[in-house]
Structure 1
Amino acid sequence: MPRGSKDKYTEKQKRKAEHIEDSYEAKGVSKDEAEARAWATVNKQSGGGEKRGGSGRETSAGSKQAARQSSARRAVATRQSSPRPGQQLEGMTKTELMALARKRDIAGRSGMRKDELLSALRKAA
């Protein structure tokens, strides 16, 4: 026997469960087992009872706009952290140099000081 109240399910979900249950009973499955399998199938297909939110249905236009702006800011920051052609290595921070050394797979980079990173990157170029 399935546990819990079925009040949170939509009418469509209840009809679907009833149809599936009838189908199992026609195949010779006991009533209790058929009902349990039917609700398990409905839960697997639709995720359970009535849902709130999801798929952006209740996301306000303001929060969508804020998310877009945040995404754009992160994209700009990512582009800025990558060295541009002609960008001076000396003008980069140690963190930026470390990221570049990681991209170029320079061995021993984790223990290097900034000046050591600079010289290793110059040799690798």
Structure 2
Amino acid sequence: MPRGSSPKRERQYEHIKESLQERGRDEDTAEEIAARTVNKERARHGESRTASRSSLDDISSSRRGGLHSHAGPQGPTRDQLYNEARQRNIKGRSTMNKEQLAEALGR
């Protein structure tokens, strides 16, 4: 957790981490998911200096409940695939649909 985060966010982080470990995730993965979730919530509530567009526009982590997780029935959203394609510098990504983006990313 970043320095200066509220006690509420610290408790939220620990709760998420412990829940994930109880469900069989290893400690490193649980820590990463918990940190990402809490950081997204901080961004949505204006508690962080910067926030990505997907952090602000996507449904909240608590509401989503795994709907957009990579292991979910439909997999990641088109925006999530697009952001990954942008990070990998895949050409023509702006005109691709969800299926094309997934194929370009090798999924």
TM-score (norm 1): 0.34
**TM-score in terms of structure 2 length:** 0.39
Larger Rg: 1
More helix by share: 1
